[in-house]
Amino acid sequence: MTQVIPAHELTLAQVENQFNLRHVLDDSTFFPEAQDNLSELNDLEKQTLDRVKTEFLYLNKYPMLEYLVKMVVLSPLLSLAGFYRPPLHPVLEKRVDVAIETRERTVWGRIDILLLQQQLWVAVVESKQAGFALKDATAQTLFYMMANPNTEQPTFGLVTNGSHFMFIKVLFGEIPQYTFSTEFSLYRPENELYPVLQILQRLAALATR
């Protein structure tokens, strides 16, 4: 009988070993999309992000489940970045199954938001409830990213718990490689939703050019 393993139970070491993934530590050359050619935000975008931060910090004083994180933080970010406009479109709760080793085990999970361009995966967005450590979602997100059937282009991921954000980039090849971006936090004095939106806009531009 095939053993079915939920993706959220995977460790980062297990995902690395399964897919022969190599972690690249120098993100300055491996992940320029998170640093170079970022567009300037306009006043309306900044005002919207300031409001999102204020609302999140208020609501986070109370129990805040995953769906509220999506509604309060993720939805306005993705809208401002252009992910709700053609040719991109979001798919929610897409199940991903990957048979591993001798096919006696299947790992499965559901991607919170999968953003597609003509069935090509552009970005995987994994959200967790507020207070959930990003580290606990990185292995699950990498597993989803490695299930991308389009291996000719890099795949990008975003992991967030509402207050913290981290991007992931995977390059496929004989030895697949990945790295993480800087971790952005809403608990710092400056509004770090600004660079998060700038990176999302950069990824949307890459996908639609």
pLDDT of 176: 95
Whether the bond into 32 is cis, omega within 30 of 0: no
pLDDT of 128: 65
Closest residue by Cα to residue 111 from 95, 134, 89, 88 = 95
Residue 180 has which token pair? 């993480």
- 177: domain range? 3-208
DSSP 90-136: EEEEEEEEEEETTTTEEEEEEEEEEEEETTEEEEEEEE--TT--THH
pLDDT of 22: 96
* Residues sharing a CB contact under 8 Å with residue 189, sequence separation 6 or more, in sequence order: none
DSSP 134-172: THHHHHHHHHHHHT-S--SS-EEEEEE-SSEEEEEEEE-
CATH number for 120: 3.90.1570.30
CB 197 within 8 Å of CB 105: no
pLDDT of 23: 95
pLDDT of 29: 87
pLDDT of 2: 60
Pairing of strands 105-117, 120-127: antiparallel
pLDDT of 58: 93
3-state class of 2 per DSSP? coil
From residue 122, alpha-carbon distances to 16, 31, 85, 145 in Å are: 21, 15, 13, 10
Ordered per-residue pLDDT tens for the chain, 209 residues: 567 777 777 889 989 998 899 999 877 789 999 998 899 999 999 999 999 999 999 988 888 777 788 888 988 999 999 988 888 888 877 777 766 654 566 776 677 777 777 555 655 666 666 666 777 788 888 988 888 888 888 989 888 888 899 999 999 989 999 999 999 999 999 999 999 999 999 988 888 77
pLDDT of 1: 56
pTM of the model: 0.87
| d(C-alpha 123, C-alpha 115), whole Å | 5
pLDDT of 100: 61
pLDDT of 171: 94
pLDDT of 54: 96
The tally of domains found in the chain comes to 1
DSSP 6: E
